[in-house]
A = this chain, B = another copy of it.
Amino acid sequence: MKTIAKRSEDYSQWYQDVIACGDLAEHSVVRGCMVIKPYGYAIWEKIVATVDGMLKERGVKNAYFPLFIPESFLEKEKKHVKGFSPELAVVTHGGGSKLEEPLIVRPTSETIIYESFSRWIHSHRDLPFIINQWANVVRWEMRPRLFLRTTEFLWQEGHTAHATLDEAEEYALMILNEVYVRFAQDYMAMPVYTGQKSEGEKFAGAFKTFCIEALMQDGKSLQSGTSHNLSDNFSKSFNVVFLDKDGQKKNVFQTSWGVSTRLIGGLIMTHSDDKGLVLPPRLAPVQVVIIPIVKDSNEEIFSAVKSVAKQLSKFSVETDLRDNLSPGEKYYEWEKKGVPLRIEIGPRDLENKAAVLVRRDTGAKESCPVSQIPKRVEEILEDMQKSLFAAALKRREESNKIADSWKEFEKAIKQGGYVFSYFCGEESCEAEIKKKTKAVSRFLPLDAKEEEGEHTCIHCGKKTAHKKRWAFALAY
């Protein structure tokens, strides 16, 4: 039987073990690609349903654009193609012949979508123009890690067009704050910072990139979602223009934003422990598992199990009546799958008209009268959702550091967690910081207070443009 490495001993192995033992996904024979197994895919389905619902509530409509992009399209936005070209998969043959123009398997769809926008958008009445697609994308990955970095991954990519730069900025921030932050915190129980990326770290082709970043248990930061203000960079390249109220033809201002299967990596690394996966109740495909404590099949106990399951129909419940595994083996299996709550029913419980409830995160056990189970399950799941968030937040806050000298910075970065420091924001300076410490800036916090006075870059000593400290960290 597969065992799980300890986080403290081999974090990277632990991550792989949690995924394997939780039966979430595996590396495919196709290098860099993953197979998402049914249990892992069920988590993705919950993510999709929730995020999709949040987007639709805000008027976003889904559409679908081609998998393939003509090579010439990508080249229309110079920074964009430069950023993506090392990662492209290229189709050179189709239907038995060599293609006249190679096709790129989409790494992201700005170019192919904005070509459509240029034909669809005519007037200010068409704005804002807001669509989203759920799709697979391909970015060639030399060092794949399941969910975190894979050559093919699944995501949503939203694309909008607006009449003004301000409206684009406002929309990019609305998606970040109202959808991504709320989803991460309220559903994934994963505390996130919001911020703006540096020039060196922003999306290839964006004017500004906003992000949510979360701290993983090994002290590294995971970029968990991005929302870009593209300004008119792409609309100029693809000639997306509209007739404004004043009778003038103008370029639209655009945004794009996405979250991906990477979120599942973040979910795993935020909550799981040395016993395996821990899932927040709101995203757990199975919220409650009921296990009969019997040697062989026992009709009385089985019918008690089924009757409790029936009472819990508003939750997603599994009853594990397999006759080839002992109760202990079943506990072990469901524990590794991160099921928030286990209910055990044995002969003694039956006598007492009770059952034992065992919570996955704390391991706390309690006996509960059968009549009270639905109420108690609801309370425990709600409490677990909150306390997973609180624990992750505490861990992050306790590891936060401020560094106002290079010496402090170098020391702090090694300890993990976010290190907040003044920074000039320049690409060349950031590249040197990375070379020396492996860390890059993660974001300029959106909600940090500005500090009066002049500040100088932690590394190069130049005067900084922003009166806030940037967050630095080692990152995935």
Contacts and interface: CB of A to CB of B under 8 A. Distances in A.
Interface of A: 28-30, 33-38, 41-42, 44-45, 61-70, 73, 85-96, 102-103, 105, 112, 115-116, 125, 131, 135-136, 138, 140-142, 151-152, 154, 324
22 contacts: A29-B112, A33-B66, A34-B66, A35-B66, A35-B116, A36-B63, A36-B65, A38-B62, A38-B131, A45-B62, A66-B152, A67-B105, A67-B152, A68-B152, A88-B94, A89-B91, A89-B94, A90-B93, A90-B94, A91-B91, A95-B142, A105-B105
Contacts of A69: 30
A420 to B, nearest CB: 35
Contacts of A96: 85-86, 88, 140
Given A94-B140, A105-B105, A140-B94, A41 B70 contact: no
A67 B140 CA distance: 13
A41 to B, nearest CB: 5
A376 B105 CA distance: 50
The 8 closest A-B pairs by CB, nearest first: A95-B140, A33-B66, A38-B61, A36-B64, A90-B93, A92-B92, A89-B94, A28-B66
Contact of A67 (B37, B136, B142): B136
Contacts of A64: 35-36, 41, 44, 154
Give the dominant DSSP class at A's interface.
mixed
A70 B29 contact: yes
A33 B140 contact: no
Contacts of A67: 33, 105, 136, 138, 152
Nearest to A102: B93
A83 to B, nearest CB: 14
A264 to B, nearest CB: 12
Nearest to A31: B94
A88 B92 contact: no
Given A41-B61, A67-B105, 10 more contacts: A29-B70, A35-B63, A35-B65, A45-B62, A64-B154, A88-B95, A89-B93, A91-B92, A92-B92, A94-B140
Contacts of A61: 38, 41-42
A116 B94 CA distance: 27
A430 to B, nearest CB: 24
A71 to B, nearest CB: 11
A324 B125 CA distance: 10
A66 B140 contact: no
Q: Which of A30, A88, A103, A140 has the most CB of B within 10 A?
A: A30
Nearest to A33: B66
Of A45, A64, A89, A92, most buried by chain B (CB within 10 Å of CB) is A64
A85 to B, nearest CB: 7
Contacts of A152: 66-68
Contacts of A91: 89-92, 105
A102 B95 CA distance: 14
Contact of A136 (B70, B88, B136): B136
B66 A30 contact: yes
A38 B65 contact: no
Contacts of A151: 94
A101 B67 CA distance: 21
Contacts of A38: 61-63, 131
